[in-house]
Amino acid sequence: MKADVRLLPAAERVAVPWKNGGGLTREIAAWPPDAGMGDFTWRVSLAEVAADGPFSAFPEVDRTLTVVEGAGMDLTVGGERRLVDERFVPQDFRGDVPTDCRLLGGPVVNLNVMWRRAGGRGTPTVAVVRGRLPLSATETGLETGLETGLETTPETGSATGPAALLVVALDGTAEVAGARLGPYDAVLLTGKRDGERTAELHAKGRTAVIGLPTSA
């Protein structure tokens, strides 16, 4: 089955307030496609944090947060300190644990991946890469071929079920599946070719590659 390719331009996203009103978020993609904040299986967004304060709470939701702009945050997660002061390094959190944020040096922008624990849908994978990378979304999740010189952060977990790949250019340009991406542009790849690569990514700047389940 041929992979479907959906371009998601950054210019078409609309900023909306956080669930608790403490910041702004721009949704990149969600599953199901018409899901709201209360019924998504997974959701990927860019969140702007302009001031100190609490994060929104999401019951039964986990998240992977990656700082992509700014100096970072000094978080208190469930009463424990969590210093997030390095860009492009995915960090895992429970979305339903009280989390307070103190900015280290002004506003930040976070790439935020959230998913519901219930239902056996699998755990998304998040990697930040640069270079050439063959990609495949298969029934076992995200497959990548890491070539010499590629910079990557460790993946977190493994997706199960028929998968999608979301590619988001962060601090530079990228090309994947015939699409050229500027900063924060994205491509969603769903479906697969059995035994074949879905696409090849050429990331000239740091680029997020996110493996996501598309069914329960």
- Show the domains of the chain with their CATH numbers: 12-116 (2.60.120.10), 125-213 (2.60.120)
Q: Cα separation of 191 and 46, whole Å? A: 25
Q: What is the pLDDT of residue 49?
A: 93
CB neighbour list of residue 130: distance below 8 Å, 6 or more residues apart: 150, 151, 172, 203, 204, 205, 206, 207
Residues of the chain with pLDDT under 50: 1, 139-142, 145-162, 193-195, 216
Q: What is the pLDDT of residue 57?
A: 87
Q: What is the pLDDT of residue 212?
A: 86
Q: What is the pLDDT of residue 151?
A: 34
Q: Cα separation of 132 and 184, whole Å? A: 18
CB neighbour list of residue 129: distance below 8 Å, 6 or more residues apart: 144, 150, 151, 152, 201, 203, 206, 207, 208, 209
The CA dihedral of 169, 170, 172, 177, to the nearest 10 degrees, is -10
Q: What is the pLDDT of residue 192?
A: 56
Question: Looking at the DSSP assignment, which residues form a beta bridge with residue 111?
Answer: 46, 66
